């Protein structure tokens, strides 16, 4: 008995001595030129062959014997590999030089984030296909399609994973942590106008499909997209673009501090953009203008704290030809598919943003991030979808008007712990967002003049949230579990006099609120550097418009979404990367265009029903040679109402099959570019599929000659000049001389062959 006690004591002492003889060596990966941290870099411990990964801030931890050094080789997409020895007081800073994208150096591995596989795809694509327009920003996400249907200044309509997301109802979009989506917007719930982001200052983006991410809240059902602007500008530039249809654009960015400040971790740069276009081949010139200004300042304010401040402003206005009923051309109401039925359509929008961030290292591998933002926003849009259906004499033209101030704060704490058997990454956060909207307005107009108010009121909407998640890596396993709490409070005060809204809101309580709890669980198993299986699961939600919430007296304020993905990452050989998943999503309440979003003269109606979606996603990236890169995405979805009567279960405009792909070249001598396609299959335009939204196949081409100090390039949209429709909707409309309304599809024609040239100077 005594010998067993001494044996137990010996074992405990041995474990303590072993632990004492171990040490955690810190490393930090940065861009050698800009000093910007490089997240999700692959680190190979050369002695053991173990692979680890830097976190989103570029930090990584290696467990080794006390007093020993450790040799690691660090790789990152778009950079040259580097080998460095850490430990014994050696600096843990790994500086990577830019290089060519090489799929052979990409390894599949477990990371501290369930976003690794999508980040990997995004990094590959952004390095090979840089975003060159505001539209490119969203098209970088595999399977995401967009459509513009009311002039170039309006937010794009978004399609993803079997969703017609309208302008953002089911996609959570952010820039540097600031929400882009506008809740209870005059034109639709979750309206996300991304045009204030200048593509050339994009440093990276993260994205994910499904409601599986603890840090993402409202509107994260189909997925999310998070963009990051450059912290430090690697070089100054001025770019001039010009092309058909009287289109011109000038954009530039300038460092305001020198190399000495950069060495001290300080940066200040400004960027600007001006754009003008007559709007393509439309018979009525669009006169589309957009002006952007952006500035970002970063500086350490102590040994452990870094401050970041960014300011931006957007101003844009345009005219629009609007949607055209199919019969308008065949019956001679317009002379071409690029004609116009109501020439008063168009809009104006502006948004000014301020984002303040403080990142603090609290020691013991704990970081604390605080972020506050403010936006002032204005929007005014005149549209006419139904012509003389609601108002046979004066017409159905109406104006949507929205002026708001939006402010928010988020605080996040993360901690990383490493043992010789496991890695633990803990994250907890809380925050609040408040929108003050006055007025939120829908007016009946004629040639732009207001005839009367259909809706007029003010909104206060707040979202208080908190979340926590734990990620555990042990051997080939990664388990990420989290839970999120959201409370939303709504207030809508209807101020309309003598309109349909007066009757709807009379006597109703203008306040409503509800909380929702969303658990998430993600599991990965990595078989080696070439194969990984993963399972993602979770609950999310999308909030309803405050006007609908109050009109329905709080009924289904926060309809939930439940989903699961089973997928894999695979490198069958060194130059091919495969990502695929089968998935399922269930929604308690679907939001469909013009029905739940209360943006039509008909006003609020009963919410849509329950829906389910299932599908398959497939993405392939293949490096044929050192200079030739191929990519393809295929996305299949089966979206259906599940509580509608037989024959009425199709989801209007929901995509069922989409595909994008292309070839990219990057020659050593400076030539680079590619050819790409977009394919959207025919889909139902109404719940019975008696009306169809026609699909399309569009091919684009771009080619550039890039040198150290300049770049010359050209791009062609719709290379083969196919006839296609960019947006399509079912409307019951009545044209001016018709005796009865007609239920059919209206469309906005897609751009024909459109060529542009550009010239950029770097200095």
CATH for 29: 2.60.40.1120
Residue 59 φ/ψ region, left for φ over 0, alpha for ψ in the -120 to 50 degree band, beta for the rest = beta
- pLDDT for the residue numbered 185: 95
In sequence order, the 6+-apart residues with CB closer than 8 A to the CB of 740 are 734
- Rounded to a whole number, what is the distance in angstroms from the first to the last CA of the chain? 80
How many other C-beta atoms lie within 10 A of the C-beta of residue 313?
Answer: 16
Contact 114, 213 (CB under 8 A): yes
Contact 743, 327 (CB under 8 A): no
- Averaged pLDDT for residues 59-81: 80
pLDDT greater than 50 at residue 63 = yes
User: HEC string of 126-138?
Assistant: HHHCCCCCHHHHH
- pLDDT for the residue numbered 19: 43
- SS3 of 422, please? coil
Token couple for 622: 């293949």
- pLDDT for the residue numbered 367: 93
Residue 454 and residue 398 in one domain: yes
DSSP percent split of the chain into helix, strand, coil, nearest 5: 10, 55, 35
- Averaged pLDDT for residues 95-112: 80
Token couple for 607: 């919410």
Residue 93 and residue 197 in one domain: no
Distance CA 345, CA 327 (A): 20
Q: What percent of the chain has pLDDT over 70?
A: 93
User: Which domain does 74 fall in, by range?
Assistant: 22-99
The arrangement of strands across the sheet holding 223-229 comes to: 178-179, 171-175, 223-229, 202-209
pLDDT greater than 70 at residue 1 = no
Residue 204 and residue 75 in one domain: no
Residue 409 and residue 545 in one domain: yes
Residue 16 φ/ψ region, left for φ over 0, alpha for ψ in the -120 to 50 degree band, beta for the rest = alpha
pLDDT greater than 60 at residue 645 = yes
Distances (CA, A) of 121 to 28, 220, 685: 22, 20, 32
pLDDT band at 6 (very low <50, low <70, confident <90, very high): low
- pLDDT for the residue numbered 97: 87
Contact 126, 584 (CB under 8 A): no
Distance CA 592, CA 163 (A): 9
pLDDT greater than 60 at residue 597 = no
Strand 22-31 to strand 93-96: parallel, antiparallel, or no bridges (unpaired)?
Answer: parallel
Contact 619, 207 (CB under 8 A): no
Chain mean position to CA 575: 28
The strand ranges marked E within 80-197 are 82-86, 93-96, 145-147, 157-160, 163-164, 171-175, 178-179
Whose tokens are 């680890």? That residue is: 52
- pLDDT for the residue numbered 77: 82
Distance CA 282, CA 289 (A): 16
Higher pLDDT, 189 or 120: 189
Measured on CA atoms in the order 525, 620, 223, 373, is the torsion positive or negative?
positive
pLDDT greater than 90 at residue 412 = yes
pLDDT greater than 80 at residue 401 = yes
- Looking at 48, 67, 99, the residue that finishes a domain is 99
- Averaged pLDDT for residues 560-567: 97
The secondary structure of 294-313 as a DSSP string is: EEEEEEESSSSEEEEEEEEE
pLDDT band at 605 (very low <50, low <70, confident <90, very high): very low
96: phi then psi, degrees, rounded to nearest 5: -105, 135
Residue 151 and residue 224 in one domain: yes
pLDDT greater than 60 at residue 268 = yes
Scored b (16 or more CB within 10 A) or e, 290-306 reads: bebbbbbbbbeeeeeeb
How many other C-beta atoms lie within 10 A of the C-beta of residue 522?
Answer: 23
- pLDDT for the residue numbered 606: 52
- SS3 of 567, please? strand
The answer to whether residue 3 is domain-embedded is: no
The answer to whether residue 13 is domain-embedded is: no
CATH of the domain at 131: 2.40.170.20
Task: Tell me how many domains the chain contains.
Answer: 2
Q: What percent of the chain has pLDDT over 90?
A: 69
- SS3 of 165, please? coil
Token couple for 679: 């394919």
The answer to whether residue 111 is domain-embedded is: no
Distance CA 737, CA 740 (A): 9
pLDDT band at 242 (very low <50, low <70, confident <90, very high): very high
Residue 403 and residue 487 in one domain: yes
How many other C-beta atoms lie within 10 A of the C-beta of residue 750?
Answer: 20
Residue 92 and residue 37 in one domain: yes
- pLDDT for the residue numbered 12: 46
- pLDDT for the residue numbered 89: 61
- pLDDT for the residue numbered 617: 98
pLDDT greater than 80 at residue 404 = yes
The answer to whether residue 11 is domain-embedded is: no
Q: What is the pLDDT of residues 37-61, one digit of tens each?
A: 887 788 888 887 777 778 777 888 8
Distance CA 87, CA 306 (A): 25
pLDDT greater than 60 at residue 8 = no
Measured on CA atoms in the order 165, 168, 170, 172, is the torsion positive or negative?
positive
Contact 206, 176 (CB under 8 A): no
The answer to whether residue 110 is domain-embedded is: no
- SS3 of 139, please? helix
| Burial (0-12, 13-18, 19+ Cβ within 10 Å), 421 | exposed
- pLDDT for the residue numbered 148: 86
Residue 162 and residue 89 in one domain: no
364: phi then psi, degrees, rounded to nearest 5: 55, 40
- Looking at 99, 129, 151, the residue that finishes a domain is 99
Residue 213 and residue 78 in one domain: no
C-alpha angle 363/28/174, rounded to 5°?
85
Contact 510, 464 (CB under 8 A): no
- pLDDT for the residue numbered 723: 97
Distance CA 136, CA 227 (A): 12
pLDDT band at 607 (very low <50, low <70, confident <90, very high): low
Distance CA 540, CA 216 (A): 9
Distances (CA, A) of 99 to 405, 624, 707: 43, 18, 14
User: HEC string of 16-50?
Assistant: HHHHHCEEEEEEEEEECCCCCECCCCEEEECCCCC
Whose tokens are 């499909």? That residue is: 209
The answer to whether residue 50 is domain-embedded is: yes
- pLDDT for the residue numbered 596: 39
Q: What is the pLDDT of residues 318-370, one digit of tens each?
A: 999 999 999 999 898 999 999 999 999 999 999 999 999 999 999 888 999 99
- pLDDT for the residue numbered 255: 96
pLDDT greater than 60 at residue 20 = no
Distance CA 664, CA 129 (A): 8
DSSP type of residue 650: B
- Averaged pLDDT for residues 210-232: 96
Cis peptide bond upstream of 439, omega within 30: yes
The answer to whether residue 343 is domain-embedded is: yes
Distance CA 403, CA 405 (A): 7
Contact 478, 111 (CB under 8 A): yes
pTM: 0.92
The secondary structure of 622-634 as a DSSP string is: EE-SSSEEEEEEE
Distance CA 574, CA 106 (A): 8
- pLDDT for the residue numbered 413: 97
C-alpha angle 177/180/185, rounded to 5°?
145
Residue 648 and residue 696 in one domain: yes
Residue 132 and residue 253 in one domain: yes
Token couple for 718: 């719709």
Token couple for 205: 């983006």
Distance CA 365, CA 166 (A): 42
Higher pLDDT, 625 or 17: 625
- pLDDT for the residue numbered 16: 42
Residue 180 and residue 89 in one domain: no
pLDDT greater than 90 at residue 745 = yes
Contact 718, 734 (CB under 8 A): no
Give the mean pLDDT of the chain.
90
Whose tokens are 């307005």? That residue is: 441
- SS3 of 150, please? coil
User: HEC string of 335-359?
Assistant: CCCCCCCCCCCEEEEEEEEEEEEEE
- pLDDT for the residue numbered 68: 77
- Looking at 66, 99, 132, the residue that finishes a domain is 99
* Lowest pLDDT segment from 42-46, 202-206, 712-716, 723-727: 42-46
- Averaged pLDDT for residues 463-483: 95
pLDDT greater than 70 at residue 495 = yes
Whose tokens are 């303590």? That residue is: 16
- pLDDT for the residue numbered 17: 40
The answer to whether residue 10 is domain-embedded is: no
- pLDDT for the residue numbered 15: 44
- pLDDT for the residue numbered 219: 97
- pLDDT for the residue numbered 713: 97
Q: What is the pLDDT of residues 118-166, one digit of tens each?
A: 877 888 888 888 877 777 889 999 999 999 887 788 999 999 999 999 9
pLDDT greater than 60 at residue 613 = yes
């Amino acid at each position: 008995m005594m010998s067993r006690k001494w044996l137990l004591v010996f074992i405990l002492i041995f474990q303590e001595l072993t632990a004492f003889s171990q040490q955690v060596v810190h490393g930090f990966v940065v861009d050698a030129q800009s000093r910007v941290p490089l997240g999700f870099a692959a680190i190979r411990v050369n002695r053991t062959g173990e692979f680890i990964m830097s976190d989103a801030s570029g930090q990584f931890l290696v467990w080794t014997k006390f007093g020993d050094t450790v040799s690691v080789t660090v790789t990152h997409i778009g950079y040259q590999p580097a080998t460095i020895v850490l430990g014994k007081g050696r600096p843990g800073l790994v500086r990577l030089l830019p290089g060519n994208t090489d799929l052979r150096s990409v390894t599949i591995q477990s990371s501290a984030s369930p976003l690794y596989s999508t980040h990997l795809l995004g990094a590959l694509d952004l390095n090979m296909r840089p975003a060159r327009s505001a539209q490119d920003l969203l098209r970088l996400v595999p399977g995401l399609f967009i459509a513009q249907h009311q002039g170039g200044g309006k937010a794009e309509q978004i399609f993803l994973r079997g969703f017609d997301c309208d302008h953002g109802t089911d996609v959570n979009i952010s820039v540097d942590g600031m929400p882009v989506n506008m809740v209870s917007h005059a034109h639709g719930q979750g309206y996300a106008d991304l045009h204030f982001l200048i593509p050339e200052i994009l440093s990276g983006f993260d994205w994910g499909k499904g409601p599986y991410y603890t840090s993402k809240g409202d509107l994260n059902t189909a997925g999310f997209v998070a963009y990051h602007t450059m912290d430090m500008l690697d070089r100054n530039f001025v770019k001039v673009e010009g092309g058909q249809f009287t289109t011109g654009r000038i954009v530039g960015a300038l460092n305001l501090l020198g190399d000495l400040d950069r060495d001290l971790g300080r940066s200040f740069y400004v960027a600007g953009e001006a754009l003008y276009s007559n709007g393509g081949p439309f018979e009525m010139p669009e006169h589309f203008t957009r002006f952007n200004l952006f500035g970002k300042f970063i500086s350490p304010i102590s040994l452990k704290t870094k401050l970041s401040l960014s300011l931006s402003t957007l101003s844009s206005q345009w005219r629009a030809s609007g949607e055209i009923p199919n019969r308008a051309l065949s019956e001679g109401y317009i002379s071409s598919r690029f004609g116009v039925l109501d020439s008063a359509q168009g809009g104006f929008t502006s948004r000014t943003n301020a984002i303040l961030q403080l990142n603090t290292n609290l020691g013991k591998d704990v970081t604390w991030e605080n972020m506050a933002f403010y936006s002032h926003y204005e929007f005014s849009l005149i549209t006419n979808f139904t012509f003389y259906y609601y108002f046979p004499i004066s017409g159905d033209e109406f104006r949507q008007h929205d002026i708001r101030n939006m402010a928010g704060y988020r605080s996040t704490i993360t901690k990383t712990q490493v043992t010789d058997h496991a890695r633990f990454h803990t994250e907890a956060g809380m925050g609040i967002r408040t929108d003050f909207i006055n007025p939120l307005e829908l007016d009946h107009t004629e040639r732009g003049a207001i005839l009367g108010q259909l809706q007029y009121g003010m909104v206060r909407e707040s979202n208080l949230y908190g979340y926590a998640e734990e990620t555990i890596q042990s051997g080939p396993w990664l388990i990420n579990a989290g839970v999120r709490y959201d409370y939303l409070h709504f207030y809508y005060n209807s101020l309309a006099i003598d309109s349909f809204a007066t009757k709807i809101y009379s006597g109703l309580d203008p306040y409503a609120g509800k909380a929702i709890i969303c658990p998430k669980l993600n599991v990965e198993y990595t078989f080696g550097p070439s194969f990984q299986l993963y399972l993602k699961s979770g609950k999310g939600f999308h909030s309803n418009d405050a006007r609908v919430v109050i009109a329905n007296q709080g009924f289904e304020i926060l309809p939930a979404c439940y989903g699961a993905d089973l997928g894999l990452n695979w490198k069958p050989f060194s130059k091919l990367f495969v990502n695929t998943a089968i998935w399922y999503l269930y929604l308690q309440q679907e939001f469909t265009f013009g029905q739940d979003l209360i943006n039509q003269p008909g006003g609020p109606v009963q919410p849509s029903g329950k829906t389910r979606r299932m599908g398959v996603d497939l993405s392939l990236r293949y490096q044929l040679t050192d200079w030739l890169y191929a990519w393809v995405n295929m996305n299949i979805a089966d979206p259906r109402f599940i509580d509608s009567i037989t024959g009425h279960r199709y989801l209007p405009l929901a995509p069922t099959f989409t595909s994008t792909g292309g070839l990219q070249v990057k020659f050593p001598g400076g030539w680079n570019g590619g050819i790409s396609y977009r394919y959207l299959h025919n889909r139902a335009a109404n719940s019975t599929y008696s009306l169809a939204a026609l699909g399309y196949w569009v091919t684009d081409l771009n080619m550039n000659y890039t040198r150290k100090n300049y770049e010359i390039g050209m791009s062609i949209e719709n290379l083969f000049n196919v006839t296609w429709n960019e947006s399509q909707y079912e409307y019951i409309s009545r044209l001016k001389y018709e005796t009865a309304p007609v239920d059919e599809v209206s469309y906005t024609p897609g751009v024909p062959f459109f060529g542009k040239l550009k010239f950029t100077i770097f200095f």
